[in-house]
Amino acid sequence: MPGLAPSLVPDRAPSAPLNAADDILGPPLASGCADRAALSWGNQASISFKELDALVNRYGNALRRHGLMVGQRVFFLLDDSPELVAAYLGTMRVGGVAVALNIRLAAKDLLFVLEDASPSVLFVHVDLLSLYREIAAQLVAPPRVVVLGPAVAAADGLETFLAEAEDVLASVPRAPVDPAYWVYSSGTTGRPKAAVHCHGDMRVADLHLRINLGVQPGDRVFTTSKMFFAFALGHSLFGALRCGATVIMHTGWPDAEAIGGVIRRLRPTVVLSVPTMYRNLLREGVAADPAFRGVRHYVSAGEKLPESLFESWVEATGLPILEGYGTSETVFLAIANTPRSYRVGSSGRPLPWAETRLFDENSDAIVAPNTPGRLAIRMGSVFTGYWHQPELSREFLRDGWYFPGDMFSFDASGWWYHHGRADDMLKISGQWVSPTEIEECALKLDELIEVAVVGHANADGLIRLAMFAVPRSPVQDEEALARKVGETLRARLSIYKCPRTIRFVPELPRTPTGKVQKFKLRGLLEAVAA
């Protein structure tokens, strides 16, 4: 099976004490980047690495003075900002555990994670304070609340919290396996779950950016997702800073117009985004701006990148989108295309610091090309378990390998292909069917801009395929379009791969990261059947 020598895969064997914040800021400070911009935002406002390091120390000293103990959690309900970055790194520097929360959490989910983790401190922006107040009375052990922004009681404000905090601080030494930060993720279903990550993770933080994308001091890295998402956390807050590059931040929920404005004003050299955002930038005509041709590399992750979207992006910008695969449990990409070697439709090849394997239904290793199986990953940033969920941890972590629940195959040349979630793969007429293959085929039609294929049980209990499609423009005759879609699929696919049900919808249900929530589509089919 294609893969990497295990000796190249960082592990968490006992080693000298370290600290994740030092692993991030230490290299650029030691290599002459102290006066370079570490963070940039708005209309070219910036803060240098030296200034950021001092601010990190102030937050760390303030947390320690207010009683934060090693291992206690600090939560952040904040938009991307210098304050978020400094407080996050300051938490890790004094041995606390940093946890950035989705700023679009529902009140019930905020209540759940606060009860789940019992954080010592919650940093919250004044604009989100009402969300916290909605559930505060229900907390048995409420955190100390530090409010950023105007019009708050002086005792709760950030200035009071930081008062008299010095900008010099010795980091707390931690073992590589000691917790440093969590990433809350619920995927496409379920309640939030916290993936526990360690101080030793940073040994792989900058490798893909530096080795494959050539990121170095003077570069400007922009991840369109917010920093509470693992993709941005790992590749901007951790990886790009460690490279000595400038991290571009955007305040406010990202949409195509806002992202276009950032690219025009701040001129990133590397942009990391998700397929949904790339699609929106094309659909709204934003990607046609000449500034988009000034970006050196575009990277995509979060879900499979449709080939048609790749081709449209190249036509609009002249540049490829380099697809990769990672999860909240790995933080960093494990499989990726690179500027020197990429293939349309593939997630890329396993990166030199990640081992990947495939297993069949009987847990036997797959060694034959073009055979779908369940993915397993081993790399130096794999999480150590889910907080307070030992059974779930045992299900996804086995013998040092992480099983994310995704189906992949590899070809004879070593390219890896994502077939979707294992629970989305379907057996039709005794053969495995990948919804992704069908979706890609349907997207060849100009009339469709998005497609999702799911399986549902018919009256006899047999699994049949159903397709949900988003038309590019209003449809006058849905029956005629459905016939055209069906004919296109039958001309290109085996008959058992052709959905019997085709429904047109104005949009597909998605998570905040842009992943299609297929369980909701299955629910629509079940509601009709009932």
249-253, 356-360, 453-457: least confidently modelled range: 453-457
Q: Are 205-424 and 431-529 the same fold in CATH?
A: no
Q: How confident is the model at residue 35 (pLDDT cuts 50, 70, 90)?
A: very high
> What mean pLDDT, rounded, does the chain reach?
91
pLDDT of residue 460: 58
* CA proximity to 378, closest of 346, 309, 330, 320: 330
Segment 64-117, tens digit of pLDDT: 999 999 999 999 999 999 999 999 999 999 999 999 999 988 898 899 999 999
* CA proximity to 60, closest of 153, 202, 159, 161: 161
d(CA 57, CA 143): 22
Q: How confident is the model at residue 1 (pLDDT cuts 50, 70, 90)?
A: very low
Q: How confident is the model at residue 7 (pLDDT cuts 50, 70, 90)?
A: very low
d(CA 427, CA 431): 5
The more confidently predicted of residues 275 and 410 is: 410
Region 402-427: mean pLDDT is: 88
CATH superfamily placement of domain 431-529? ANL, C-terminal domain (3.30.300.30)
Q: How confident is the model at residue 3 (pLDDT cuts 50, 70, 90)?
A: very low
pLDDT of residue 429: 59
pLDDT of residue 517: 87
Q: Residue 11 pLDDT more than 60?
A: no
Q: Which residue has the tokens 């954080």?
A: 119
**Class of 14-29+45-198 per CATH?**
alpha beta
Sorted by sequence, the CB contacts under 8 Å of residue 459 that are 6+ apart come out as: none
Sheet holding 270-273, edge to edge: 45-48, 37-41, 246-249, 220-223, 270-273, 297-300, 321-325, 335-336, 349-350
The more confidently predicted of residues 495 and 506 is: 506
- Report percent pLDDT > 70 for the chain: 92
pLDDT of residue 515: 78
Q: 45-54, 104-113, 395-404, 417-426 — which one is most confidently predicted on average? A: 45-54
CATH of domain 205-424: 3.40.50.12780
Q: 54-63, 180-189, 395-404 — which one is most confidently predicted on average? A: 54-63
The more confidently predicted of residues 156 and 237 is: 237
Q: Residue 54 pLDDT more than 60?
A: yes
pLDDT of residue 302: 87
Q: Residue 122 pLDDT more than 90?
A: yes
11-25, 230-244, 492-506: least confidently modelled range: 11-25
pLDDT of residue 189: 45
The more confidently predicted of residues 397 and 302 is: 397
Sorted by sequence, the CB contacts under 8 Å of residue 213 that are 6+ apart come out as: 270, 296, 297, 299, 338, 339
Q: How confident is the model at residue 2 (pLDDT cuts 50, 70, 90)?
A: very low
Q: Which residue ranges make up each domain of the chain?
A: 14-29+45-198, 205-424, 431-529
d(CA 513, CA 124): 21
Task: Count the residues in the chain.
Answer: 530
141-155, 254-268, 398-412, 477-491: least confidently modelled range: 141-155
pLDDT of residue 40: 98
Sorted by sequence, the CB contacts under 8 Å of residue 262 that are 6+ apart come out as: 222, 248, 250, 268
Q: Residue 265 pLDDT more than 90?
A: yes
- CA 435 vs CA 386, 422, 426, 439: distances in Å: 29, 11, 8, 6
Segment 273-296, tens digit of pLDDT: 998 899 899 999 999 999 999 999
Region 339-353: mean pLDDT is: 97
pLDDT of residue 464: 83
pLDDT of residue 4: 37
pLDDT of residue 421: 77
Distance of CA 134 to the CA centre of its chain: 28
pLDDT of residue 425: 75
The model's pTM is 0.84
The more confidently predicted of residues 407 and 213 is: 213
Cβ atoms of 311 and 282 within 8 Å: the answer is: no
65-74, 342-351, 483-492: least confidently modelled range: 483-492
Residue 297 gets which letter from DSSP? E
pLDDT of residue 282: 96
